[in-house]
Amino acid sequence: MPLRIIFMGTPEFSVPTLRALAEAGHEIAAVYTQPPRPAGRRGLDLTPSPVQREAERLGLVVRTPVSLKGEAEQAAFAALQADVAVVVAYGLLLPKAILEGTRFGCWNGHASLLPRWRGAAPIQRAIMAGDRETGMMIMKMDEGLDTGPVAVAERVAIAPDMTAGELHDRLMTIGADLMAKAMSGLERGELTLRPQPANGVTYARKIDKAETRTDWMLANQQVHNHIRGLSPFPGAWCEMEIAGKAERLKLLRSTLADGQGEPGEILDERLTVGCGEGAVRLLELQRAGGKPVTAEQFLRGAKARKGMKLA
């Protein structure tokens, strides 16, 4: 028998999983997502989340509570009489009453190889740390932060120049398929849970704007990991003097390069930049208010040349 599911998610990352569960024939009792956010220049327009837009396209019931801590919200959740809740990047804390508010509990799709990178930003942190692999895991949630037992997992290699955006899209697709398989196993009573290892725990804290500026004093591998780990959002950045004034540049893509010079110094006509050790070559970047461009396009437009400095 198909499961009666409450789906809980908010960003684009969650959408393929919602779609996969609906296509698998499960009954989606309701979709929980974060409330519409202010948008537009004045912040007067309210923009629904990607999950809300997809749920409405599918004709599903949508709920957007600002919190699940109140008794009324918890009673409304329980009243749905769902078999299971599926959670993918929802963004709100789930109290014990919600975790226990369905027959089989809450199951989470998490983008790391737990217990490594528990928390809010596992994709970015894995790349920024130089990890060579990560993965998707489906776990049964408990009251801890990503501490529940794991049901299924799939490992994914992180290529040397892969950005967070590229890894996000890969894991988003894998996660949808993995959750659909997990729910099929749960439906048949064939899922086996295993506790997470006690060793190897790390936390993927939320990205802070204060850490997004590129530090050219670091070794080239660290600079490269920083750039690709923050691409495309929120974006690593630096400043360069263009037409007599300092202009902010968003760095979107890079690769390791041969060369040595002063940290931040442009070393050649290919936008190779010196680091504290070694160099990186910038491949794609974006001027303030502009569109992403290749290094060649940037050099032509900004009249950047060898010997100039990025700060």
Per-residue burial over 31-52, b = 16 or more CB atoms within 10 Å of its CB, e = otherwise: bbbbeeeeeeeeeeeeebbbbb
The hierarchical CATH code for the domain 4-203 is 3.40.50.170
Q: Is 285 annotated as a binding residue?
A: no
pLDDT at 243: 79
Write the pLDDT tens digit of every residue in 108-165: 999 999 999 999 999 999 999 999 999 999 999 999 999 999 999 999 999 999 999 9
Q: Is 282 annotated as a binding residue?
A: no
Domain 209-302 indexed as CATH 3.10.25.10 = yes
DSSP state of 197: P
* pLDDT classification of 27: cutoffs 50, 70, 90: very high
Could you tell me the residue ranges of all domains in the chain?
4-203, 209-302
> How many angstroms separate the CA atoms of 94 and 99, rounded?
6
pLDDT at 72: 97
Q: Is 114 annotated as a binding residue?
A: yes
Which token pair is 272?
């190779």
Q: pTM for this one?
A: 0.95
Q: Is 95 annotated as a binding residue?
A: no
Neighbours of 64 (CB within 10 A): 15
Cα dihedral across residues 175, 93, 205, 49: positive or negative: positive
> How many angstroms separate the CA atoms of 88 and 108, rounded?
6
Give strand pairing partners of 293: 285
